[in-house]
A and B are shown apart, each in its own frame.
Chain A
Amino acid sequence: MQNAIVGKPILETHDLTRKYGEFVAVDHLNIAVAAGEIFALLGPNGAGKTTAIKMLTTLLPATSGDATIAGFSITHDPSNVRASIGYVPQLISVDGTLTGYENLLLFAKLYGLPRVERKTRIAESLEFMGLTEAAHKSVHDYSGGMIRRLEIAQSMMHRPALLFLDEPTVGLDPIARNLVWEHIVELQKTFGTTILLTTHLMEEADELCDRVAFLSRGKLSVVGTPQELKNSLGDPNATLEDVFIHYATESLDADTRSTYRTIKQTRNMAARIG
């Protein structure tokens, strides 16, 4: 149940830290993710999950510490990091004014896919995500689940080694949610993509992730396979939710910054997508 991983790491963080003024949002984070894993960052609102992902995707500079992705440092070699990753933010990231096809074409071009490959790659991605029929509809008319699948397809245009998904199922109904999950697992199987995601649904994480890490107030509490973590509670019927509660309660009431900001973001997201 240690931070040790099996196989080659694709992502390693070294005392990764981010402060907002005096407030430490991510505090000396050390995690390693093996190539091909589905890995979840879990923890209560405001734990620092999104902040960690923003640093790893080079959107936010680290206050101190570093991380390497596919061998490239996020602080010293951000453009190579960007070429190696895909990212679906917590918010909406496809353009409603464009069609699904156009959204994919835009990113195929931005990622510099050769002209001859673009068409087949886009058709393949649409097919893969079950969006072929809706390809030429305006994204305004997509459902929440379709938008999420399009966003994932878009961030996979260049077949990155590592994909970041920040709350991919927030605001989705159970059917749409399952569909998104199926596609995430399928991605990992087909392309060997490593996936780092966040979610507040412990059942999802339990069922689908190879390993999970719990963050609490910016610090890593524990990391391991869902099974290991459940076993560690010493109760044979323990669920991952019990693990969550076990590690979260220490911090809950003390957190005066009760994260109006992050809650507002998540709710907006849910409202928009729903």
Chain B
Amino acid sequence: MSTTTGESPFRIMPAVTDRNRHFWTGGKDGELRFQRCKGCGYFLHPPAVICPKCWSKDIGIEAVSGRAEVLTFSVNVQNWMPGLEPPFVLAIVGLPEQDDLRLTTNIVNCDPYEVTIGMPVQVIFEPHPDQEVWLPLFEPVTKP
């Protein structure tokens, strides 16, 4: 997995806490990481403190493949805030590791108007090291 090139745009940063640090910093090592229940194997996202499937508190951190599928998207045209230059793509992507494991993200490194539902994508990280955040974005899969 790789990182975006060039200067990272202005972004409002997440408040990094002990509960979510694995998610926002995994990109430093090129990994998309989630909490995973050691009792039943369920991935938890957004991060939680107890497994909602088996109530285990024995929760580990695990890297996933970084592959995903676009479940839905929107080409955002309106300029709401400084940072990303419109038009840009907001998407909800689903991860193959678990049916209900998904996140909101941006699809980058392609023409915004060529994004489609069902498109296979892979994670790419946008570094904001001074903020302790590596944003997981997604780009079209270029190689099998």
Interaction A to B: no
